Structure 1
Amino acid sequence: MNKPIHALCQLALLGLAAARATAAPEDWALHAQATNVYQKNASFRSSYSGPNSLDARGDTEETTDLTLYAGLRLGRATELWINPEIDQGFGLADTTGMAGFPSGEAYKVGAHAPYLRVPRLFLRHVLALGTEAEAVEGGANQLAGSVPNDSLTLTAGKFAVTDIFDSNRYAHDPRADFLNWAVIDAGAFDYAADPWGFTYGVAAELARGARTWRAGLFQLSPLPNDKIVKPRFGQYMLVGELEQRYQWRGHPGALRLLGFANKARMGRYDDAVALAGAGAAPDIALVRRPGWRAGLALNLEQELDAGIGLFARASANDGSKEAYEFTEINRSLAAGLVVEGERWGRAGDRLGVAAVANQLSGDARAYLARGGLGILIGDGALSYGAEKIVEAYYAARLASWLNLSLDVQRASNPAYNKSRGPVPIYALRLHAQF
């Protein structure tokens, strides 16, 4: 048996053996997850390729992660969580070749051998602003108990910006729903993160009735897409979000408006092109200087009927400067549907279909056409076209703790290049949660 699959199965058996009844409220909790993704891009048409291109001959890679969620209640309203994790594997083409990369389970740092890291270590304090509360079940990074309806929640430590911001019940978790980066997150949301997607920061969430305001301050890496070793806020991201929940024809929905601004040393595309001169490939690293880069995202989730949900995201950012942490997308529009399996007698199964279109600014196009490289893309030249991706998945529940998913994607103009593609991409995902 393949070693990552064998390790996943062992964790599943251990998790079942160690399962315990959940008491409410919990003073402590241990949960675990294991996810293995095999992904393949088939061969496709290509006139040329560059350092950051998908392999046109075809490529197969796998990723595995095993995570422990350990939580402790420090007081009536305060929780401490730590998430040690073992990672292993690579994304297609070492996680390059598409702006809307096809696997949210792939990291920008890969390794053949498993390695240990701690992506999350944070405190959460919830201050009640009213007397009404609702019960919550225990789960990953959530102790069972009750949560006040009106509250101020403070989170501080190391975690992912997307743990709190840009959430969507239908498209946000690459371990359970869609895989593509520009589907599970707003494509133009250049959020603070290390190469695995985590950083240090503080966030506040004020919930009043059907509305929640969120704000956060997060550390940017010292260089674009670089590792974050310790807390240091010389370069940072400010982010805010307003969420409005509502009922439409008796079905719940939510609309979120997000804005962010990154302050860091970053380069302008036109400066890099001008410095390179005629015939030379530009290097954005040579023109970096302190500045700001901002963007907006609109995020919709809407239940259409029992077991059927719609989602959509639209986002845009300042396209004059380089992408700093996430990926090279200046404008993005994504939408999709998710249907629960109760409708065909398979409770716990899900079927999802989504489409996304990503675009670049004129300055970014000129930079890439001259042979410039970005975080994820750079074919050495560019015949520009919007990057268009269609994704569908079916997640089958094999047991209460185990799901098996088949995911299919088709990318037209990968990395915005009409001279390459379309690319068929297939994935098999096994996910266990305890």
Structure 2
Amino acid sequence: MLIKRAGRSGHRCAAAAGLAALLGVQAGAALAADLAPARPRFLDWSGGYAGVQGSAGASFGNYDFGPTTIGTRRVPAVSTGDATGSRDLGSDATTVVGGAFAGWTWQDGALVYGIEADLVGSNLKRGARSDALGFGYEALDPPFALIREKTDLFGAARGRFGYAFGNNLIYATFGLAGANGRVLATYPDLAGGPTATASRTLSYLGFTLGAGVQFAVDPHLSLGIDYRYSDLGESGRFGLGAVPGADGGAVTTRTGFVSNQMMARLIWHPESLALVPDDEDEPVKDARFSLHGQTTFVNQGVTGFRSPYRGPQSLVPDQAQATTTATLFLGLKLFENTELYYNPEFSQGFGLSRTLGVAGFVNGEAQKAGAPFPKLRSNRYFLRQTFGLGGETEEVPDGPNSIAGTRDVERITVIAGKFALGDFFDGNIYAHDPRVDFMNWGIWASAAWDFPANLPGFTQGLMVEYNRAEFAIRAAYTQVPKEPSSDVLDPRIFERAGAVVEFEGRYALPVLEQPGKLRLGLFSNVGNTADFRQVVALTQTGAFADINTAVAASREPRRKSGVYVNLEQALTPDLGLFARASVNDGRNESLSFTDIDGSVSGGLSLKGTAWGRPQDTIGLGAAANRISSSHRDYFANGGLGLLIGDGRLTYAPERAVEVYYALNLTKAVTMTFDYQHVENPAYNRDRGPADFIGTRLHTDF
């Protein structure tokens, strides 16, 4: 779960990759629109516009200090890593980026171009630590921020060039960017004299490039997601006070600054936009290709809560973070019943506390492989072979990773390649997709199922399914991570692997006359893990001074097995009920998902037909998670898990409640408002309860 920081060149490359990914996702959607029978049809975006933009926790900066001189000594340059304002990331205030913008757009057919200027406030800050800069302070315990820099104002003048399709716009941007900086220094006198301080105000000017998407939801309003990378250049060398004491001297240094920002936008169009009607597309039959895309932006914050102590993987109060994903779903029918799929995806941002501190984590889009810049990955590439067994047939709709056509209801399907196990197992139409329904990990999944996956949630292997109208049986054999919470999958698939078998029964209750499904899954994984009782014993007998050292030294191939039950039941055409229960043996470390040995969850999902909003959804769910007695002892002795570890533990089950309202704005755009309440985060009754408030903007094409 440790993330390597990129230097300035790394940020440039990552930003370029993220830009290409975003344009690829949306351009793919535009091409899909062009391929439809009555396309292209597009909105005329010409004219002036203005708006507000912002996010909490989605802005990151990378400061460089130095090389620095103190007297006649020279200290090499130091990168502070990725600066944010979140307290868990080395600073003392929550990052909020927000401001206003205005611009003018011209349009020639589907091609759009224009100019835009904006001004935003921020609270980016990070310090270069005393043990990194030296200055004689290497031995200070604990180290402290010897030199700190804060940026609270950004401005930009940019050109925009884009492509319009339907009521949507994709665009790239480039131009000039500026920012301020205030550098503060603190120099203790190691001989016991007074501490010296110094400060310097700086101005930066550099270039910016980025990309964005925009969706008209009203003749005068549109929503957007805007990403920008800014290289704000370097300052000249400047004096920064003097280090006191006999070994001190005058300090001179320089700074450099790059920034990655992701912001949601609300745009006002004074001249009314002529929206393209959201007509239902004609059904596509027997297609050769499938091309779709999605973008999801989640902004989430946690309020203050009781936190008498803090461990390395504790949830931190009073912070906000944001995540963004954009995915392209490509499908090609190679032969009859043989299909090839590829899903490039970029992701940016972190969950709260770097996706740490809650076993049933509160943002299903937050990956343990988060990054401050858009990071491009090939998340899925797989081959699907379908063997029809005759008899009744059914229509296959065009959709993400689905090519329109027909298939036998009774069939055998074989899938080989890279995929997410949740694509095929533990499904539930009411609680399974954190991009559109519940976001809490303990609600949208069978939380005690430690499904094999890398940090973003994917694995490689083989899945086989036998399907009939009344039931389906499916099984998978896949790679596991080389060690817990690793992004590298273990190549020794015949020695260490994951296996899961699921039975899905389909029925209609006579009383309700509404469909339902019941799924039963069995899983067993072999991975390189530690035994909880063993590492506690090794630590308590003094064989190891630290329990996490004992974990690393005692890992070997061990098995984790368990079972889950999953129910979905329609009560009316608009109201549905879901419930899950899952358990594993709780003896060894989990490999991939989260620190849960037993979980029950359930809730209701209601469409908005009764209040005239049939495409809206309101959901109410709850979950209760627990861990085994040996797992509790492990955390009580300072152990660290996949997501949690407060350094000590006063055990209580972790409980969560989530309610959301998904507001359908257009056929392609949904805005969700989400609230979660978590009791005993990380099973620790000394912490919390914690309240989480979030918004989610989701689009699909």
Task: Give TM-score scaled by structure 1 length.
Answer: 0.95
- Please name the residue that 2:651 is paired with: 384
The worse-fitting range, judged by mean Cα deviation, of 277-286 and 220-229 is 277-286
Aligned to 1:282: 547
Distance 2:476 2:22 in 1: 35
Out of 500, 515, 522, the residue aligned to residue 259 of structure 1 is 522
Task: Give how far 1:176 is off.
Answer: 0.6
The DSSP-based 3-state class of the residue aligned with 1:295 is strand
Match of 1:186? 446
Q: Return the offset for 1:204.
A: 0.5
User: Larger radius of gyration, structure 1 or 2?
Assistant: 2
- Secondary structure at the aligned position of 1:305 is classed as coil
Aligned partner of residue 224 in structure 1, secondary structure: coil
**Distance apart, 1:186 and its partner CA:** 0.2
Q: Out of 309, 321, 326, which is 1:66 matched to?
A: 326
Match of 1:119 among 374, 379, 387: 379
Question: Does the 8 Å contact 1:12/1:432 carry over to 2?
Answer: no
Match of 1:26 among 287, 308, 313: 287
Which structure 2 residue ranges, 5 or more long, are not aligned?
1-14, 37-282
Q: Secondary structure at the match of 1:93?
A: helix
Q: CA deviation at 1:11?
A: 6.5
Matched, 1:344 2:597: no
> How far did residue 15 of structure 1 move?
3.6
SS at match of 1:399: coil
The equivalent position to 2:390 in structure 1, one of 130, 136, 144, is 130
- Partner of residue 139 from structure 1, selected from 375, 392, 399: 399
Is the contact between residue 199 and residue 228 of structure 1 (CA under 8 Å) also seen in structure 2? Answer: no
Partner of 1:52: 313
- Alpha-carbon contact 2:25-2:327 (below 8 Å) kept: no
- The CA distance in 1 between the partners of 2:410 and 2:422, in whole Å, is 22
Q: Pick the structure with more strand per residue.
A: 2
Q: Of the candidates 332, 335, 355, which is equivalent to residue 622 of structure 2?
A: 355
Amino acid at match of 2:353: A
Match of 1:273 among 528, 536, 541: 536
Does 1:165 pair with 2:430? no
Instruction: Pick closer, same or farther for the CA change 1:12–1:346 going to 2, 3 Å.
Output: farther
CA deviation profile, 1:306-342 (whole Å, cap 9, x unmatched)? 1100000000001111111111100000001000112
User: Are positions 1:300 and 2:571 aligned together?
Assistant: no
Give 1:281 shift: 4.0
Candidates 594, 601, 605, aligned match of 1:327: 594
Please state how far the C-alpha of 1:270 moved relative to its aligned partner: 0.7
Give how far 1:66 is off: 0.8
Contact kept? 2:347, 2:375, Cα under 8 Å: yes
Which secondary structure does the structure 2 equivalent of 1:425 belong to? strand
Normalization by structure 2: what TM-score? 0.60
Query: 2:454–2:489: 8 Å Cα contact kept in structure 1?
Result: no
Task: Find the aligned partners of 1:15 and 1:71 in 2 and give their Cα distance.
Answer: 13
Deviations 1:203-247 (A, max 9, x none): 011012311111110100111111136855142001100010000
Q: What is the number of residues matched between the two proteins? A: 430
The aligned counterpart of 1:105 is 365
Q: State the shift of 1:412 in Å.
A: 0.2
1:425 aligns with 2:692: yes
Distance 1:195 1:201 in 2: 16
Give the Å deviation of 1:278: 5.7
Query: 1:91 pairs with 343, 351, 354, which one?
Result: 351
User: Which residue of 1 is the match for residue 636 of structure 2?
Assistant: 369
Structure 1 residues 183-213: Cα deviation after superposition (integer angstroms, max 9, x where no partner): 1110100000000000101001101231111
Q: What is the rounded CA distance, in whole Å, between the counterparts of 1:10 and 1:129 in structure 2?
A: 38
The one-letter amino acid paired with 1:241 is E
The reply on whether 1:400 has 2:667 as its aligned counterpart is: yes
- Structure number with greater CO (CA < 8 Å, separation at least 6) is 1
Correspondence for 2:103: none
Structure 1 partner of 2:503: 242
Change (3 A) 1:424 1:8: farther
Q: Report how far residue 136 of structure 1 moved.
A: 2.0
Equivalent residues of 1:243, 1:254 under 8 A apart: yes
Match of 1:415 in 2: 682
Is the contact between residue 479 and residue 489 of structure 2 (CA under 8 Å) also seen in structure 1?
A: no
Cα 1:8–1:406 shift into 2, 3 Å: farther
In the alignment, structure 1 segments of 5+ residues that lack a partner are: none
CA RMSD of aligned residues (A): 2.0
Deviation at 1:17, TM superposition (A): 7.4
Relative to structure 1, is the Cα distance of residues 375 and 363 closer, same or farther in structure 2, using a 3 angstrom cutoff? same
Q: Deviations over 1:369-421 (max 9, x none)?
A: 11111110000110100000000111011100110001100000000000000
CA contact (8 A) 1:40 1:60 kept: yes
Cα displacement string for residues 114-171 of structure 1 (whole angstroms, at most 9, x for unaligned residues): 1211000001111111221111210000011112111101111000011111111110
Provide the residue aligned with 1:312 in structure 2: 579
CA contact (8 A) 2:382 2:419 kept: yes
Contact 1:200/1:231, CA 8 A, preserved across alignment: no
Asked if the contact 1:8/1:36 (under 8 Å) is kept, the reply is no
Partner of 1:198: 458
